[in-house]
Structures are given as C-alpha cells and as structure tokens.
Structure 1
Amino acid sequence: MIDLIAALQPLVVGAVLVSSARVKLLNRHARTAAQRTALARLIGPNRALPAYRLLGGVELTLGALLLLLPAPRPAAVAATALAVGFLGYLGYARRAAPASSCGCLSSRPTPVAGRSLVRAALLVAAAGLAALLPGAWPDALATRPGAGIAVLLAEAAAVVALSPELDAAWLLPLRRLRARLTNPLRGGSGLPLLASVQQVQLSDSYRRVAPLLRSDVREHWDDGEWRFVGHAARYQGRPATAVFAVPLTDLEPAAVRVAVVDDATGQTVLALAGAGRPAGPRLDVVPA
C-alpha cells in the first residue's frame, strides 16, 4: 500500500503547485496580493511582486513535471526542497508579520494560520515520500484504480480542509446550509430564541437577579407552553444556575419567572414569580 501512496504523491503535490502558480501568474490582483504577503517585509515592497511571480514560475514548472513525467524523482526532490522552504517562510510570516496574507492558493487576504503550516508540512511529507519511493502514477492507478482514487480523494480533501483561503468555497456554504436545516435560533415552538431572550432581559425578574448572573445563555429548552433559558450564576459565593421560565404564548416581560438553583445540591435557593398569569411551572420561593 505504501508503494501505491508514494506513486500517487506527484499528482497531489503537482496539483497543489499548479493551483498555487495560477494565483501568482494569472490573477489580475497579483500585485496587491504580493504586497499583502510577508514578502514585502522580508525582501522589500518593490521586490515583492517580482519574487511572487518568480515563485509562481517555479511552482508551475515543478508542478507540470510532477504531473507529466511517469517517475519524476529529480522533480520530487526539488519539490521537497520547495515545500520545506514554504514551511519555513510560513513560520516566519506567522511570527514576524502575523497580519500578512498567506498568498498561497488564493488572492483572498488570508492570514497564515495553523492549518496553513500543517498543509505545508503535509506537502513536505508527500513530496519527500515521492522522492524516496518513486513510482509511475499511471501504472499505480491502472493496477489499483479503486484504492488509488480513494487515496487521491482523501488527500485532496485534506488539502482543502487545511486551506483557510478556500473556506469561502465550501465551509461557509456548509454552515449556511446547517443554519437553514437546524434553525439554531429557534426552539421546538418556532419562536426565535432571541425573542425569548429579549423578553427575559426586559422583565423585572431579570433585573432582580442580574447581579447574580455570570454568563450569557448557556442552554435552553421548551416544555409545553414554556421555554426555559439557563444562565450561569453565583449565589452567596456558590456556583448556581439561573433558569428563566418564559411563556411561549405570552410575550409580556411581566410573565417571566426565574429560579436560582445551587449547582452542588440541586436545591432551588431563590425563586421569583412574574406578575403575569398564574398558570405555569411551579417555582417554590425559598427565602434568601
């Protein structure tokens, strides 16, 4: 299996290098992208764009050799050296110019992140493996197409996941889809959580226990006609939880109730009933 993986690494490294070269050589905003990188600090603003273009040319040449040659050991050795240089440069950029852009796979301004360093280390390992165990990737794919395609897909997914500059292409759409499917600001009733939080914050119950609160909303759940909203609190020096009971069918702040529960014992140490309708969860008042 290791021979198959090693034989396929030129495809992975070559594809990454060609994609990076495309950004540096063909993007019309290359000048701006170069000035955003740490190259401007490392070699000077006037030399940043020529160096950026030169690096793109080197990446394109090595990437094409890795993709086109059947067993490109010299190209793999050169790609390993280039990947080591990338890793060192990114480490310098993160330390010396943390606000600078990576300038790697997109012209989008993206600071060097931990994922960028891991991706560079992955390229070092992939190119180094191709140099140590050279093999013809066409033969490897022809011999074991299923396993070969699985390896390539897994590595491509890893490169994409480790590329912050590509988040806008896949991660943000996934987050938007999740938000549409799960409605994170809604409880089971369909009433937005924000509406309940606003009702709580306008209530007399909230004003009376506000000095005890130590967090924003930590949890919430619906039970029948009521929504319960929990906050971390501290009562007489002990950790506690303040649970507000908000009626789902009565939007008046006066209807909100609150109970403060000791985290260690589970005992209700304080309860305040709202001035609204009497129906609702029972909150036993325990004198302070």
Structure 2
Amino acid sequence: MFQSLAALQSLLVGVVLIWSARVKLFDRHAAELAGNSALGRLLSAGRAVPAYRVLGGAELLLGVLLVLPPAPVAEPPAAAALAAGFVGFVGYLWYARRVAPAASCGCLSARATPVTGRGIAWAGLLLLAGLFGVAAGGTYWLPALAAAPAASTGLLLAEAALLVALSPEFDGYWLLPLRRIRARLTHPLRDGAGVPLLASVQQLQLSTAYRQVAALLTSDVREHWLEESWRMVCYSARYQGRPATAVFAVPAGEVAPDRVRVALVDDSTGATLVAGAGADRDQ
C-alpha cells in the first residue's frame, strides 16, 4: 500500500511540472514575465529569458516522463532533484527581494506574485512529494491508482489542494472569494469593531503615493481587505493607455500616511508595472 501511494507522487509532480512549463514555454507574456521577475533583475532581461525557457523545457520533459509510461527508477529521484532546485531557486528569490522587492517568482502563472514564505513552503512540499515518490521503486502510478482508487484519489486531492493553498498565483480563484463570504457573514465592522474603511481611505488620500498616482485612477474603491497590519485598497486605473489596478497598502493600526505604498498591476498580464511609494504620471 505504501509503495502504491508513493507511486502516485510521479503523477502529482509531473502534472505540476507540466503546468509550470506551460507558463514558461507557451504563455504569450512569458518573456515579459521573465524580464519582470527577480531572475530578470538579477541576471538582466537578456539572460533571464533564455534561462526561463531552458527551465521550462526541463520541466516539460521531466513532467512528461513522470506522467507517461514506463516509469524508470531514475525518474522519481530526478523529480526530487528538480524539486530541490525549486527550493533553492525560491530561497534565492527570497534573498533577492532585498535587491528587487517588487519582483515576482513567475513559477505557475503569468500573474505577478512576489515571493513569500508560502512560496518556499510550496517548493518544500513539492520536494517532499518527489522524495516520497522515490520509495515507489519505479512502480507506474496508473496500476497503483486502479488498485486503491478511493485512497489514491483522496491523497492526490489533498496534496493538490495543499499545493493550491500555498500558491499565491491561485488566490484569486479561492482565497479572495472566501474572504468576501466571510466578510458578508461576520460583518467585521459591526458595532464599531475594527478599522473603518473610511479612516483608511482618508489616510490614503493624505499620502504621497496617492497624490502621485491620483491622475491615473478611474474608479472609486473597488476592493479592500485586511492583511496582517495592513489594509489593501484597490482602484481601477490606466497606465500608459493600459487598464490596470492600483493596489495601495495602508497601515491599519496607526496613522502614518508616509508608510502608504502603491503598486500598479497590469489587468491583462498581472505584471507589476510600478511599485513603491508612488509612480510617475504617465498616461
């Protein structure tokens, strides 16, 4: 039973690798994403794009080998080695945040997602899945799935759900809707509890970040949520003729307009156009 469950890890890791390779090789914004990622900031855009493509090719090749029969004994260790590479790469991006704090990972989607502890935990989970797969000893995943369909499906779904939960790229599909539902059910500002949105907006409008991008905004507050000690406030905007979202981070527990930060995110690609205390007024 243990060996059968271990064999399923080849399917899980293979699908994740193919999905990741799809972004790097076939997404029409892949070159732009590579250039805007921490890899682009550290290697230069000219070197980052070829490196991004080579990594995608390696992921695709290994992913196909893991998913399709036969399953040589060498494949799971190779998957674990690549997962270990993911851990090292994401860890390096974490260090690179000091050099390029607004740069993203570019791992699973074209959406810009700066590296956090969740990303490192995601890579660690993928590494554990690869190491668990080594115990299969080359057993192919399809017979293992057929031998215990209920247990196998349950394990795969649980692992996939955990990977999705640790992937900031997928937050828009499940985390934000859950936050909206929780807000509707709990009414967090009822009876005066919490920080009123109006107080955050007033502080936001006093900030340098807001004044520098105010001419680019095209809507009122579109979305907001609390994240640790910050209130995130979103507006629609246009930057260099492109539709974008202005995301402001406002201190929730203190009045400190000088700490307000803003990022302009391209609506079509998810790439961060500008990040920092403000932006140039370029329409």
| TM-score of the aligned structures, taking structure 2 as reference length | 0.63
Sort the Cα spacing of 1:81 and 1:193 in 2 relative to 1 into closer, same or farther, 3 A: closer
| Counterpart contact for 2:34–2:49, Cα < 8 Å | yes
Runs of 4+ in 1 over 6 A off after TM superposition: 192-198
The CA distance in 2 between the partners of 1:194 and 1:95, in whole Å, is 34
Match of residue 11 from structure 2: 11
Offset, 1:145: 0.5
Compare relative contact order (CA 8 Å, sep 6+) and give the higher one, 1 or 2.
2
Offset, 1:14: 0.7
* Cα offsets for 1:228-272 (capped at 9, x unmatched): xxxxxxxxxxxxxxxxxxxxxxxxxxxxxxxxxxxxxxxxxxxxx
Alignment of 1:116-135 (within 5 A): 116-134=119-137, 135=139
Classify the secondary structure of the residue corresponding to 2:190: coil
Offset, 1:180: 2.0
The amino acid of 1:162's aligned partner reads: L
| TM-score of the aligned structures, taking structure 1 as reference length | 0.62
Offset, 1:131: 2.4
| Counterpart contact for 1:70–1:137, Cα < 8 Å | no
| Counterpart contact for 1:73–1:130, Cα < 8 Å | no
Sort the Cα spacing of 1:168 and 1:195 in 2 relative to 1 into closer, same or farther, 3 A: closer
Structure 1 unaligned residues grouped into runs of 5+: 199-288
The CA distance in 2 between the partners of 1:75 and 1:93, in whole Å, is 27
**What's the % identity of the aligned pairs?**
54
* Cα offsets for 1:154-196 (capped at 9, x unmatched): 1001100111121111100111122223322235xxxx76999
Count of residue pairs brought into register by the alignment: 194
Q: What do you get for the CA RMSD once the two structures are aligned?
A: 2.3
Match of residue 20 from structure 1: 20
Deviates more, 1:173-182 or 1:136-145: 173-182
Structure 2 unaligned residues grouped into runs of 5+: 199-283
The CA distance in 2 between the partners of 1:125 and 1:194, in whole Å, is 40
* Cα offsets for 1:118-154 (capped at 9, x unmatched): 1111111211221243322111111111000000001
The CA distance in 2 between the partners of 1:23 and 1:126, in whole Å, is 22
Counterpart check, 1:115 vs 2:118: yes
Match of residue 55 from structure 2: 55
The CA distance in 2 between the partners of 1:37 and 1:197, in whole Å, is 32
Match of residue 166 from structure 1: 170
Offset, 1:80: 1.5
